[in-house]
Amino acid sequence: LNRRLAGFGTTIFAEMSALAVRTGAINLGQGFPDTDGPEEVREAAVRALRDGRGNQYPPGPGIPELRTAVAEHQQRFYGLRYDPDTEVLVTAGATEAIAASLLALVEPGDEVIALEPYYDSYAASIAMAGGTRVPVTLRPRDGAYHLDLDELRDAVTDRTRLLLLNTPHNPTGTVLRRDELAAVAELCVERDLLAVTDEVYEHLVFDGAHHPLASFPGMRERTVTISSSGKTFSFTGWKVGWVTGTPALVTAVRAAKQYLTFVSAGPFQYAVAEALALPDSYYTDLREGLRRRRDLLAGGLQEAGFAVHRPQGTYFITTDIRPLGATDGVAFCLALPERVGVVAVPTQVFYDHAAEGAPYVRFAFCKRESLLDEAVARLKRLA
């Protein structure tokens, strides 16, 4: 492994899912639903396979049906207009979109600001692009996480190339408010920064609302917006994601994408194009179902003795383990499967400032209610 990737051997998600399989524990670590997405969307994929649509290389930027559906989605939910031909790119999940954006836009030595704790692929992608990551830490206060805008402003230097933003935020579940995003947007304009925003949890907001950064004044022309079908349609294995932005930005990201995967799986693109056009009730039911499960797991974790940081969005609840007499989340998570048969993820691995993240542990609630009930019953044995 070269120096750029030193320390990025195996992802925490692969490691913890392997631990779940080895011990037979309930896996509340890696964020994937245990119920697949809509039957009709699965059928659409089968139809595409059978009809021979997408079984050979699809067009490099993605099939026109999906690019159009993505543009319509941005218009329908946020009033953002994108030209499907020049301003939309289909990627192999959001993961590839993030990597391709950074590879395309960052010069070696450029600084990239990201909100810490951050999704694990950010650090690796910044490193692969030769950039220097500059973390700005979200800190827990009154049961939720907060962005310190002064700290963000102070983090910008003459070498800052871009801001890598994630809202709704994994792992904390924070949904940035409109006024916070407006301040972020002002900063980007004032300091002439590009923004890459990861909005894969855009439809999983339980308190407040999701606002795309690109919808703020001056931002459309400097923002690469990323999302994916994994979380919105509960098909994390399909790996269909997308990028929207100006023709110049999308062309740049496409240049990198061409040499990473060239194209993404064809038949799934047809199915996701149909999924994006599902009626509003689909999106509402998804959110309400997850809200119930958030409340169920949050309540259970509290009863089991954890201090709960209540998430406003995403699949995840971050807890503080100190009320249980523990301080080291890594040791806690490594022992948890043997102790009570549950797998969780130590939040510390998402920090540069490891000490800041030491006592926190992330649990995923994108699971059947019966499984969450069983996990809670097991976790209560910790007390």
Question: Which stretches of the chain bind ligand PMP, using CB under 6 A?
Answer: 31, 93-95, 119, 166, 170, 198, 200, 228, 230-231, 236, 239, 241
Please select the residue that binds ligand GLN; options are 13, 77, 78, 283, rule is CB under 6 A: 13
Return the one option of ligand PMP, ligand GLN, none that residue 13 interacts with (CB less than 5 to 8 A, by type). ligand GLN
The residues near 328 (Cβ < 8 Å, ≥ 6 apart) are 358, 359
Q: Within a 13 Å sphere around the CA of 97, how many CA atoms are in the beta-carbon half?
A: 30
User: How many residues make contact with ligand GLN (CB under 6 A)?
Assistant: 5
Is 132 one of the binding residues for ligand GLN (CB under 6 A)?
no
Least separation in angstroms between CB 376 and ligand GLN: 19
Is 174 one of the binding residues for ligand GLN (CB under 6 A)?
no
Please select the residue that binds ligand GLN; options are 26, 27, 28, 30, rule is CB under 6 A: 30
Count of Cβ atoms closer than 10 Å to residue 155 Cβ: 18
Return the one option of ligand PMP, ligand GLN, none that residue 73 interacts with (CB less than 5 to 8 A, by type). none
**Coil, strand or helix: which one is 367?**
coil
Please select the residue that binds ligand GLN; options are 11, 86, 215, 251, rule is CB under 6 A: 11
| 88 strand-pairing partners | 244
In the bound state with ligand GLN, the residue whose beta carbon lies nearer, of 170 and 244, is 170
Is 234 one of the binding residues for ligand GLN (CB under 6 A)?
no
| 136 strand-pairing partners | 115
Residue in the block written with tokens 């994630």: 166
**Coil, strand or helix: which one is 134?**
strand
Is 8 one of the binding residues for ligand GLN (CB under 6 A)?
no
Interatomic CA distance for residues 77 and 287, integer angstroms: 15
Phi and psi at residue 234, in whole multiples of 5°? 60, 45
Least separation in angstroms between CB 338 and ligand PMP: 27
Is 74 one of the binding residues for ligand GLN (CB under 6 A)?
no
Residue in the block written with tokens 């971050």: 318
Asked if residue 117 has a cis previous peptide bond (ω within 30° of 0), the answer is: yes
Angstrom CA distances, 363 to 221, 290, 329, stand at 37, 14, 12
In the bound state with ligand PMP, the residue whose beta carbon lies nearer, of 200 and 333, is 200
In the complex, the residues that contact ligand GLN under the rule CB under 6 A are: 11, 13, 30-31, 170
